[in-house]
Amino acid sequence: MKQYLDLLQNILDNGVEKESGRENMPNTIGISHAVIQMDLQNGFPLLTTKKMYWKGIVHELLWFLRGQINIKYLVDNNVNIWNGDAYRWFKKLNKDAYGSESEMSIEQFLLEVKKGTTIDNLDMKYTFGDLGKVYGYNWRNIPNFDQVLRVIEGLKNNPYSRYHIINSWDIRNLDECALMPCHLLYQFIVRPLSLGERISLMTIDDTIITTSDFNLNKYLDDIDIPKFYLDLNMYQRSVDTFLGASFNLASMSLLLMIIAKISNMIAGIATWIGGDTHIYIPHIPMVREQIKRKPFPLSEMKINKKLNSLEDILKLNIDDFELIGYESHPSIKAELFTGLKK
């Protein structure tokens, strides 16, 4: 992922220091636009210049796809990237309801999350770990609107449509969530495979083609040979480039693989587009360390389950994913800033 290292260097060289627009967040240096393109036919874009917790990426994506907005599933699976946001949201709701800060520690809070504790009284209705109307709500649970199902059905029924979009930016709900969406717009776009590319996907002997009136394209359709590459453009309005982007690049690529598989298409090019693309000032030493490292060859990701419907996607678990040939440099520890402290 040389493109990612080049982006880090570009921010260091050309980024402008700014105050954060969020309370209790450190200053950043950043740029206003960035693009990384990843051809999934060349490997799975999981960073190798630091060790990545790939199972956490899978769990978070499955959490989004299931429409979940409570962190219990993540915590139960040792994925802790949302803990700070959930705790900060709890403290805000508690103060709004009772007029004072909760003295509960984050450790006590997470114990209540694991127990599934609910507060239900006249002042507050809340289950520990709730995040409000975050990604899962917008993807799956807007009343009468399942965006994931709509994309799947659209790709199957009208693949050339330009409406295959999942959008998390609902202006009506921005004050009702712990964190406003960062990766907010996903657009899926098809490209037809050539006849030669389709033939190369066959697993049978093509010498059966003998008659002059044989319609090869129709035959390939009949035996379910894919007709399209599926590409994905994702726009991310705000990017913690050191910690967040490394997750986002792999997550959007895995989402592309899942949607391509259920649509009988070939996962093509994932294009990530960053808006406010920044590095937190305290992360700069870690960034400089990572830039010194030489990337290893990309790994391969496999989904070892047949996908025919949205229900099949919702039943996916971590054991259905196989990462092959992943080699990386050691991890680089850095604080994930969530606004709990400056």
Q: Residue 193 carries which side chain, given as an amino acid letter?
A: L
Contact 268, 230 (CB under 8 A): yes
Three-class SS of 47-108? CCCCCCCHHHHHHHHHHHHCCCCECHHHHHCCCCCCHHHHHHHHHHHHHHHHCCCCCCCHHH
CA distance 120 to 140: 25
Q: How many CB atoms lie within 10 A of CB 16?
A: 11
Q: Which residues contact 122 (CB under 8 A, 6 or more apart)?
A: none
Q: How many CB atoms lie within 10 A of CB 228?
A: 20
Kindly name the residue from 113, 152, 182, 254 that is annotated as catalytic: 182
Does 182 qualify as catalytic in the annotation?
yes
Compute the Cα dihedral for 90, 92, 94, 96 and give only its sign: negative
CA–CA–CA angle 120, 123, 129 (5° rounding): 50
CA distance 152 to 44: 22
Contact 40, 269 (CB under 8 A): yes
Backbone angles phi, psi at 128, to 5 degrees: -55, 125
Compute the Cα dihedral for 276, 338, 50, 271 and give only its sign: negative
Q: Is 205 helix (H, G, I), strand (E, B) or coil?
A: coil
Q: Which residues are catalytic?
A: 182
